[in-house]
Structure 1
Amino acid sequence: MLYGNKRWLYIAVPIFFFWFFGQIDKLGISVIQTDASFLEDLGLTGADKNAKIGFITFIFTVSYAFSNLFWGYIIDRFGARKTAVIGLIIWSAMMIVGGLATSYEIFLVSRVVLGFGEGMMIPICGKFISNWFNHRELGRAQSSWLAGNYFGPACGAIILTLVIATFNWEAAFFFLAGFNLLIVIPMFIFLTRDTPEEHPRMDQKEIAFIREIDVNEKGRKKQNFTQDYRYWIVWFGMLMSSFLFFGISIWLPTYLVEAKSFSREAMTGITSLSWLFALGFVLVCGYLADKTKRPSLLATILFSMTAIFLTAAILAPHPVIAGICMGLAMGTQGGVFHLSNLFIVKYSTPETAGRAAGLMGFTNILGGFSSYIMGWLRDLSGGDFGPSIVMLIVAAGLGFAAYLFTLKKEAVEVRTYKINSNRLII
């Protein structure tokens, strides 16, 4: 049954769970920060409490973003497999420290080191995808791990709510550390290798398929990814996407509870649904990217949809409609994130994929600013989310405008691809 498809077991499955649990680690704080005991124990009270809550994500994403640059170089030098295990050990330890924290300051230190440990996630997956999959299945390969990126938090919102209700907020961190130590690390050790040629259970026919040359790239010298202007447009688009995604995802549970008066149970349902929206956009975009060869056009459409959904959330007369619109806006950015990681592989080589992904991962730094600025604006406006959402709409407009500059060249490439494919058939 697995003959000719072992790459999906050895690589797609481990990196799915890598992101499934990794994103619960990263974004579970959005649920935990709605717990009154957590806020009281760490001193998150007073007139500036929203800015302090936002600073938790800000300090994490700054560390996460800068570490992407470091990890990208390490991965290209020493391989994705060893790097993944080292990073997993670091972040598992920091989840335990976070659960043991007795002050806001200690908790912040744990988030800084956690951000450093998790910073290797994007470049590791970019490296694995580049080394292990055929050029015609990159969209589906990216979808396999990005599915974990969104399915994880969808389940995580429910899991963390139950753990906190049954035990306490500290237990949530211990559970997350256990998942990594008992499930994810063994998967990387026993299933993965850096390249298919190194794996003892891979057959030559499947390796030959993986190494099949793209007819459009044959005979063409591939330039360094930093020399392709479209990489930098995608990089800017990822800045905007990070700003939008972290701003919405980190504050969505608080928005539902405090601005729309949802119960904790209803908040959990809408939050989980929002992550499933993101998963849906990832899967659809993975299919359409492979089918149409127009990822830039898809990203342009997604940014426009984000602006529309955010505007609808402001104007919606009913809290449930507003909550769903916010969830759909977050979901569209899941699609943008997927396409951006597809571009990493497209514009780089297997030798430079780690660095290309690391530089792209650096864009997460703006997500931290988004979380902090939204908290600061809430404090200034007496808890109102309106100014923050308007700010997010502007970011969506900038992302839309940036991708417009990629459409003409992409259309030319698609026509060339079809002509070359028809010649091969003839």
Structure 2
Amino acid sequence: MVSTQKRWLYIAMPIFFFWFFGQIDKLGISIVQTDPGFLNDLGLTGSSANAKIGFLTFIFMVAYAVSNVFWGFVIDKLGARKTALLGVTVWTATMVMAGMANSYEMFMWSRIILGIGEGMMIPVSGKFIASWFNRNEIGRAQASWITGNYLGPAIGAVFLTLIISTLTWHASFFFLALCNLLINIPMFLFLTRNKPEDHPGVSKEELAHIRKTESFDKSVTKQNFAQDFRFWIVWFGMVMASFLFFGISIWLPTYLVQAKNFDIESMTGITSLSWMFALGFVLICGFLSDKTKRPSLLATILFILCATFLTVASTTSIPIIAGLCLGLAMGTMGGVFHLSNLFIVKYSTKETAGRAAGLMGFTNIFGGFASYVMGWMRDLSGGDFGPSIILMILVAGLGFIAYLFTLKKEAEEVNLLNKELERQGLTDYSA
């Protein structure tokens, strides 16, 4: 049995750590920006400080989103393995650059280059998953590495807070560079290959399992993903989800400390728990999407839940409930991100998966925009988070409305699939 499960070691594990450390590199700024030493060293004080803080994430996301499209084409030509090694090397160097920064401008450039380096994360992961896993286990495969996406910041929040409090904010970036150098790069170098056929450790039995449903898939002619209107609805949904997820995650620690007067330990605990909420929604959605074959319905429900949690957070007078509801709202969007990655595989082929993922990854630019807008709105309202939360409620409503247009066709596809299973004498598509 173990000899037919190597793909989980060779691919799922490297991608888990890829996202584990990559997300700390990306989102650790939410913890760092609560440190007074960091703010003073980079001149982030005064009436426009919040907008300047938000701009750091915005400019990162611009570089990240634009490079997503570029990397998508590169991966389809160069392969996922070499692209991953190149990207990790770039972002490791930017961690060193950030740790050495002595001005706002130098730190900003480190975030721009980091965004370019990390832009290949979604396309690389989508390419690996599309090439290495059976179509019936895509949900589990996606959940296995997206776990790193949320577990990384959950654990990273604790470690970064500890490092900053005992050393300096500079040391936190040097620590992350070392982790990438000693863990991520060796894993991609020694464990991965672009295709299972190229890996000497993959048995014939496992390769047959990976490819066993291709005859069924080939019986259905796939149109170009760009011609399927549902891909663009999912793309719009990702725009809304990115706005919500990054708007909350980047500002949550600051909100807890400055708006609700939490101490550093309590802030770290709720921030870490919020990422665990996201992980929980990812795992639940991975399971339910495989069982129900209704990812669009699940995404519709998640947007309603997000709007509900945000509404409670904006109206309650109890700080702990407000903090937890914001964390739950962020968690629901983690579920939407996971479902969106499943749609990439559903609406594309192995040849176009990199480009489809690159276009989907472009939506991250709106996450950075949310960070800047929230900072700007805080400056205008004297530090109040209320207007920003109201804006996010409206955004969640738009995501809900968009997904409503996908439900009818999805239901029709599930009915057709069930009829095909009955004709073949099967009761479970994953059997």
TM range (shorter): over 0.9
2:290 match: 290
CA displacement, residues 370-402 of structure 1 (integer Å, 9 cap, x when unaligned): 000000000000000000001111110010000
Report matched runs for 1:248-327 at 5 Å.
248-327=248-327
Report matched runs for 1:208-219 at 5 Å.
208-213=208-213, 217-219=217-219
- Distance (whole Å) between structure 2 residues aligned to residue 395 and residue 105 of structure 1: 32
Unaligned 5+ segments in structure 2 are 427-431
Q: For the Cα contact (< 8 Å) 1:215–1:420, is it kept in 2?
A: no
Opposite residue 177 of structure 1, the aligned amino acid is A
SS in 2 for 1:217: helix
1:247 match: 247
Q: Displacement of 1:3 after TM fit?
A: 1.9
1:222 match: 222
Q: Displacement of 1:214 after TM fit?
A: 5.6
- Distance (whole Å) between structure 1 residues aligned to residue 417 and residue 260 of structure 2: 49
- Distance (whole Å) between structure 1 residues aligned to residue 155 and residue 212 of structure 2: 37
1:43 and 2:49 correspond: no
Report matched runs for 1:121-270 at 5 Å.
121-213=121-213, 217-270=217-270
1:410 match: 410
- Distance (whole Å) between structure 2 residues aligned to residue 203 and residue 370 of structure 1: 47
Q: Displacement of 1:424 after TM fit?
A: 1.2
- Distance (whole Å) between structure 2 residues aligned to residue 117 and residue 221 of structure 1: 35
- Distance (whole Å) between structure 1 residues aligned to residue 212 and residue 388 of structure 2: 48
- Distance (whole Å) between structure 1 residues aligned to residue 195 and residue 224 of structure 2: 22
CA displacement, residues 224-280 of structure 1 (integer Å, 9 cap, x when unaligned): 111111000000000000000000000000000000000000000000000000000
- Distance (whole Å) between structure 2 residues aligned to residue 123 and residue 316 of structure 1: 40
Distance 1:217 1:373, change over 3 A: same
Q: For the Cα contact (< 8 Å) 1:216–1:417, is it kept in 2?
A: no
1:339 and 2:344 correspond: no
SS in 1 for 2:2: coil
- Distance (whole Å) between structure 1 residues aligned to residue 120 and residue 169 of structure 2: 26
Aligned residues between the structures: 426
CA displacement, residues 131-166 of structure 1 (integer Å, 9 cap, x when unaligned): 001111111111011100000000000000001011
1:78 match: 78
**Mean CA deviation greater in 292-301 or 214-223:** 214-223
Q: For the Cα contact (< 8 Å) 1:58–1:371, is it kept in 2?
A: yes
- Distance (whole Å) between structure 1 residues aligned to residue 193 and residue 65 of structure 2: 26
Opposite residue 134 of structure 1, the aligned amino acid is N
- Distance (whole Å) between structure 2 residues aligned to residue 423 and residue 245 of structure 1: 43
Unaligned 5+ segments in structure 1 are none
1:101 match: 101
Q: Displacement of 1:209 after TM fit?
A: 1.2
SS in 1 for 2:350: coil
SS in 2 for 1:248: helix
Q: How high is the sequence identity, in percent, across the aligned residues?
A: 69
Runs of at least 4 residues off by over 3 Å:
214-218
1:400 and 2:364 correspond: no
- Distance (whole Å) between structure 1 residues aligned to residue 34 and residue 221 of structure 2: 52
Opposite residue 28 of structure 2, the aligned amino acid is G
- Distance (whole Å) between structure 1 residues aligned to residue 88 and residue 2 of structure 2: 28
- Distance (whole Å) between structure 2 residues aligned to residue 194 and residue 421 of structure 1: 32
Q: Displacement of 1:341 after TM fit?
A: 0.5
Q: Displacement of 1:217 after TM fit?
A: 3.2
Q: Displacement of 1:181 after TM fit?
A: 0.5
Q: For the Cα contact (< 8 Å) 1:95–1:173, is it kept in 2?
A: yes
- Distance (whole Å) between structure 1 residues aligned to residue 230 and residue 371 of structure 2: 28
- Distance (whole Å) between structure 2 residues aligned to residue 221 and residue 293 of structure 1: 19
